[in-house]
Amino acid sequence: MKYVIAANWKMNKTISETRDFLKTFIPMVKGIADVDIVIAPPFTALAAAAEELKGSTVALSAQDMFWEERGAYTGEVAPGMLLDAGCSHVIIGHSERRQYFHEDDAVVNKKITAAHRAGLKVIFCVGESLEEREAGKTFEVIQREVEKGLANVSPDNLVLAYEPIWAIGTGKTASAEQAQEVHAFIRKVLVGLYGSPAEGLRILYGGSVTPENVNTLMACKDVHGALVGGASMKPESFINIVSFKKEN
Ligand code: PGA
Residue 247 domain flag: no
Q: Residue 125: CB within 6 Å of ligand 1?
A: no
CA distances from 58 to 36, 49, 230 (A): 7, 10, 19
Domain that holds residue 116: 3-242
Asked if 89 is an active-site residue, the reply is: no
Cβ density class 128-165: b for 16+ within 10 Å, e for less = bbeebbeeeebbebbbebbeebbeebebebbbbbbbbb
Please check whether residue 224 lies inside any domain of the structure.
yes
Q: What percent of the chain has pLDDT over 70?
A: 100
Digit-coded pLDDT (tens) for 186-240: 999 999 999 988 889 999 999 999 999 999 999 999 999 999 999 999 999 999 9
* Ligand 1 atom with minimal separation from the 227 CA: 9
What does pTM read for this prediction?
0.97
* C-alpha dihedral sign at 148, 140, 215, 42: positive
CATH number for the domain that contains residue 211: 3.20.20.70
Looking from the CA of residue 96, the nearest atom of ligand 1 is 8
Q: Give the distance (Å) from ligand 1 centre to CA of residue 127.
A: 12
Establish if 248 belongs to a structural domain: no
Q: Look at the alpha carbons of 61, 46, 104, 78 in this order and tell me if their dihedral is positive or negative.
A: negative
**40 pairs with which residues across the strands?**
8
Residues contacting residue 74 through CB under 8 Å, at least 6 positions apart: none
For the question of residue 224 being annotated catalytic, the response is: no
- How many domains in the chain? 1
Q: Give, rounded to a whole angstrom, the gap between the first and last alpha carbons of the chain.
A: 16
CA 105 to chain centre: 17
* Cβ of residue 197 lying under 6 Å from some atom of ligand 1: no
Q: Check residue 197 and give its pLDDT.
A: 82
With both helix axes pointing from N to C terminus, report the angle between 176-194 and 138-149 in degrees, rounded to the nearest 10. 40
pLDDT digits (tens, 9 = 90+) for 41-60: 999 999 999 999 999 999 99
